[in-house]
Amino acid sequence: MSSLAGKKVVVIGAGRSERGYAAAFRVADWLGLAAAPTFAIMALLTAFDGSQQDMFCAAMQHASPLGGMIPMYLLMSAFHSAPWLKLISRW
């Protein structure tokens, strides 16, 4: 049992750290919202890049249809869309 049991304890400076935590959570929320569009833009840029790097992967036998950078970016965009869905559901 603590020696402070039943006594009133005042924590000095708690307001400042709580504001810091709130700011950190806001930044994390915005970063979560930034992930899905970033991956979607990367998929578009990769699709219209014109480089033939994905052709090397597609030439392999028994290659997965999800192989390559474009499907990977689209999947990452889909997996990171949860913050957007939460934001839309609040409206």
Q: How far apart are CA 30 and CA 42, in angstroms?
A: 18
Counting the structural domains of the chain, the total is 1
Residue 46 inside a domain? The answer is: yes
pTM to 2 decimal places = 0.60
Res. 1: pLDDT tops 50: no
Q: How far apart are CA 38 and CA 43, in angstroms?
A: 9
Express each pLDDT in 17-64 by its tens digit. 566 788 888 888 888 899 999 999 998 888 887 665 555 555 566 666
**Which residue range is the domain that position 61 belongs to?**
14-90
Cα–chain center distance at 87: 14
Residue 2 inside a domain? The answer is: no
Residue 8 inside a domain? The answer is: no
Residue 63 inside a domain? The answer is: yes
Res. 4: pLDDT tops 90: no
Res. 10: pLDDT tops 60: no
